[in-house]
Amino acid sequence: MRKTWEALEPGQREVAVQVLRYAVAGFGITAAFSLAYWIVAHWVDPNVSLAIVFIVFNFVSYLIHGRFSFRGHGARDNPGKRNARFLTVNLAGFALNQFWVWLLVKELGGETWWPTIPFLFVTPWLTFALHRKWVYA
């Protein structure tokens, strides 16, 4: 493992560290997000549950990813632009997650926990790429 690490170029190491930090932080955030969605979905429509939980976790995600996952990456000189881009990326993730709820719960008649699988294992890859290349570039 160490030889593999040492064989990486400095830029590749930076990306690897960001992926690791994003995976650790993102998995924690996404697991809590998914659990909150599932709990709230017991009382309200699953799509409404997702909207409520998204609003709360959007702030949590912004703080953690900005200060931890992408620490030291890119410029921090234009917070308004970065905030708008962050919101845009997260709204894209929200739209994708709404699609999972619609498809798996409403169309296929699945349980409300079914969308938590793509919440955890599909959507984060899209948002990581967009955060790294566009938000925190």
Condensed to tens digits (0 to 9), the pLDDT of residues 45-61 reads 999 999 999 999 999 99
Q: What is the pLDDT of residue 74?
A: 66
Q: Which helix (H) or strand (E) holds 81?
A: helix 79-101
User: Please, what is the average pLDDT of the chain?
Assistant: 90
Q: Are 33 and 119 in contact (CB under 8 A)?
A: yes
Collapsed DSSP state (helix, strand, coil) of residue 76: coil
What is the Cα Rg of the chain in Å? 16
DSSP string, 99-136: HHHIIIIIIT---TTTTHHHHHHTHHHHHHHHIIIII-
Tens of pLDDT, residue by residue over 103-119, are 999 999 999 999 999 99
Total-model pTM: 0.81
CA distance 53 to 37: 6
Residue listed under structure tokens 């349980």: 111
Provide the pLDDT for residue 117: 96
- 80-82-88-91 Cα dihedral, nearest 10 degrees: -100
Greater pLDDT, 28 or 78: 28
**Rounded distance between C-alpha atoms, residue 63 and residue 60, angstroms:** 5
Q: What six digits make up the tokens of 8?
A: 């990486």
Determine how many CB atoms are found less than 10 A away from the CB of residue 57.
Answer: 20
User: Which of residues 69 and 29 earns the better pLDDT score?
Assistant: 29
The span from the CA of 122 to the CA of 135, in Å, is 19
pLDDT at 76: 61
The CA distance from 11 to 30, in Å, is: 27
Rounded mean pLDDT of 107-133?
Answer: 93
